Structure 1
Amino acid sequence: MAPYASDDSTTAAEDDDLRAARRRRAARYGVPAAVIGIAAGTIGLVPAIADSGSPDLPKITAEELIEKIAASDVQQLSGTVRISTDLGLPDLGGLESGMLSGAAGADGEGSSADPAARLTELASGSHTLRVAADGPDRHKVSLLEDAAEYSLIHNGKDVWGYDSASNEVYHATVDEHGGKHEKQAPATPQDLAEEALKAVDDTTSVTVDGTAQVAGRDAYKLLIEPKQTGSTVGAISIAVDAETGLPLKFTLTPASGGAAVVDAGFTQVSFAEPAASTFDFTPPKGAKVTEDDSVEAPAHAGKSEEDLAKGFQGAEVVGEGWNAVAVLDTGAEGGVPTEAAGGELGGFLGSFGDRVSGDFGSGTVFKTRLINALITEDGTVYVGAVTKDALVKAADAGQ
């Protein structure tokens, strides 16, 4: 959706008020935004790659390679990462970030340095990152932008976020068990690989698909493919460092074909100990510092990504394997607003959803290239990495 463009008859303040009003109206319809959030959460933050060549490595079985990943215990590394994401999300003109994060520093609703605001940027496009780690309590990820940089630093009990463009700082603390803010930090490639491997069961084919070189490292390629039809996932390829067992590259291709949904991995990596100063941070002079407990909950009714994750963990699940669908009762009867009921925004939301009907009644399917969600007229949401037809089938089976 194109941003509002002012004309000579409106003042800058009036423009700001109108933009804020549109965001508030958008927030009333949080479920479509939640679909985008779920898709973003599915991606996580994984490193991106450059691979070439097929090194001659000792033979290894898929089971042995999985065990190698599980046994990997890399504690120290640094490198450069490239991540490209193509979920096929509609262009919301930046609206989705505000609805999902609840941290739009420029509008006074939190800090632009809050990780929950910045990491949603990885849900689309290509990004370059610098990463470093030294044990479980010291990590740094820097998102490089044109003439600016965003850094997320975990050093002991302190978690810092710094946005150089706005000169804003976010600060939180974690307890000895990790604390709630640990979940805002990016996942490692190993975390993502382990999540993918959780799907390995009788509905999954797992094979070793040759070898590759990633960031100058010899690697085995593990290929994970659904045996079932109806999943939006075509295949997941994980390049595993032959020496350390660390996943170096993670690529998810859709069943519909075309470019990868996620293509992420190291372009350069070192397993030497990073300098201790890498994880030091002091707020720059004049920076606006927001402490975690001073960040107020956003005024809109949308849920945070963490709340959404908790909600899905408690959801009813129908189907099995790659065709599993989570079912939630939102209690919001009426489904997605029509243009008549929801005005301009309602018509816009409906424009990128497909109306469907079946034994369950009628509803709207919101689609990405990976995660799809059906929102019925009675407020029930069916969501999963499955096709539109599979969602309708799941909804019909629930009647």
Structure 2
Amino acid sequence: MKKIVIAAAAATACATSAQAGGFERSATPLGFMFEKGNYAELSFGSARPKVSGALNAAPSVTTGNVTKNYSTVGLAFKSDLNDQISLGVTLDPTFGADVAYPTGTGYPIAGSTAKLRGDTLAVIGRYKINENVSVHGGLRSVGIGGDVSLVNGGSNFYRATFNNDRDVGYLIGVAYEKPEIALRVGLTYASETKHELDASGFSAFAPGGVISGSTTVRLPKSLTLDFQSGVAADTLVFGSIRWVDWSVTRLDAPFANPPAPLPPVNPLVSYAKDTITYNIGVGRKFSDAFSGAVSIGYEKTQGIPTGNLGPTDGLLSLQVGGTYTHQNMKITAGVRYVDIGNASALKSTPTSTTGNARFAGNNALAFGLRVGFSF
């Protein structure tokens, strides 16, 4: 029971997160560390978000779809050094954002674009204290970089490339297992990282129009509670609660602010509150080879104006997936539909509590595939 049903629980986690809090696209995976024996997996994700809005004062002036489709690839490998100690490594496309406001819409910042990319390379160890209790921890090398191009009234007044920068953080956690009922509860903390991004490009407000400087951004710490338990023959309930400290994250661009009467641009990215994301679902074994799962996800809408480079707020999602097991191979596929929370954007001042644009009725569709081998 344990092997098949735990595979079912993994099915819905396979689909990429698609518009989770901040610009996180996935959390560093840890499930592979609990596989038996030596194990390797390759995962693919693809998301198709649709996010659009309109000016409150002129609802006929719309943005068009401002988000781009994207794909992700992840790798993980784990080896048992002995009966108590396991060592693993994972490469995960943790962070990302792709925003492009179509031209010709009449929206004030039509033609503006922004892209962020971040990944996590983690080396993780796990030590089994006894049959039920284990601890895990390791080091995380986190990278982040990107570029932005800002347009106002059809005029491009700012372009910048932020060179990729890496910082080392850590993760630490504990897990309790009761194999006879497929019970596992795990708690994992991941530390914050700090990045100094060198910027280069053009600004209409910099001396000579040339950008020369850097900006500091902190990527948030997180705390994740994962759980699963058998509740009947071949049936498993699973879920997670994840807190991410997004309120520490702020990205300012050197020489980005235009003089009055135009509104200030900075910060390019900032978040007023942290996020808590909930997921709960049920998995079921249908045969010796196939198991399936369905789950729902929820992230509260904060109701605070966002920046134009991330005009989403909260989510409600439905995930469906299945796992096929054959000898030492396990194939997991999942699909996720996300109802993206409404957001206000285009703030007039950094401290304003209202926005003059409304993004509503948005969604995303994500697909995921994971192939794992035990050996």
Higher helix share: 1
Structure 1 and Structure 2 fold alike (TM over 0.5): no
TM-score, structure 1 normalization: 0.29
TM-score, structure 2 normalization: 0.30
Higher strand share: 2
